[in-house]
Amino acid sequence: MPSRHQARYNAFGMTLHWLIALLLIGNIGLAWYFNTLNGLPKITPVQLHKSIGLTVLLLSLIRLGWRVVSPPPPLPAAVDAWARIAAGAVHVLFYVVMIGLPLTGWALSSASVIIRFKPIMLFGLVQWPAIALLAHLPGPEMKQAHEAFVTAHGLIAKLAYALIALHVAAAPRHLFLLRDGVMGRMVPFLGTQAG
């Protein structure tokens, strides 16, 4: 187990971070794209969106477990108390996004009559089970549940946009203005020493 006093995340932690980030951003772009489509052309990108979302869910759960056994490195001493609190809050909210978005997506798909004849297929290879409680609801209750999960999915997506913008905006601030070594904790080729 890595030391609590390591200066940067280990290779596995960095890999999970960047892989989840790329999948999450790519999946947001894919959602924007398929929402411009109608009918049959929409089916393939929607199925890919579901597959990527479920992959994000699985990787995020692995990342959460890894965080328990391999705690993250501490923030550099130069980081103010308010910034530490903000960073912690953003981190927690990112887990809400990384786990909440796929869960609500899975739920809204399960609470749709479409699930009865078009199951969720992970990358077209493996059938992913529907949430049985939702998939077997009577018609009106299913419609109501579907609409609730669509709303929740949309709200969490908006949270994702805000967090991604905040996270991306903070990066150059730490790298070029503060030069406090924060970026070096997660970017392999950057140093962790404050400049």
DSSP state of 79: S
What φ, ψ does residue 16 adopt, rounded to 5°? -60, -45
pLDDT digits (tens, 9 = 90+) for 27-40: 999 999 999 999 99
**Residue 28: its pLDDT value, please?**
97
Instruction: Calculate mean pLDDT across residues 74-81.
Output: 84
Output the pLDDT for position 87.
86
The more confident residue out of 116 and 174 is 116
**pLDDT band (50, 70, 90) for residue 3:** very low
- For residues 156 and 74, the model is more confident at 156
The predicted pLDDT at position 159 comes to: 98
Domain segments of the chain as ranges: 11-185
Residue 74 has pLDDT above 90, yes or no: no
pLDDT of residue 184: 65
Q: Which of 41, 23, 47, 193 is nearest to 126 (CA)?
A: 47
The predicted structure's pLDDT at residue 59 = 98
The confidence score (pLDDT) of residue 190 equals: 62
50/127 Cα distance (integer angstroms):
12
Fill in the amino acid letter for 38.
Answer: N
When the pLDDT of each residue in the chain is averaged and rounded to a whole number, the result is: 89
pTM over 0.75: yes
Is the CB of residue 28 less than 8 Å from the CB of residue 36?
no
- DSSP-derived secondary structure for 157-192: HHHHHHHHHHHHHHHHIIIIII--SSGGGT-TTS--
Residue 168 has a pLDDT of 86
Q: Is the pLDDT of residue 186 over 80?
A: no
Whether the pLDDT of residue 195 is over 60: the answer is no
Q: What is the mean pLDDT of residues 81-89?
A: 89
Is the model's pLDDT at 19 over the cut of 90?
yes
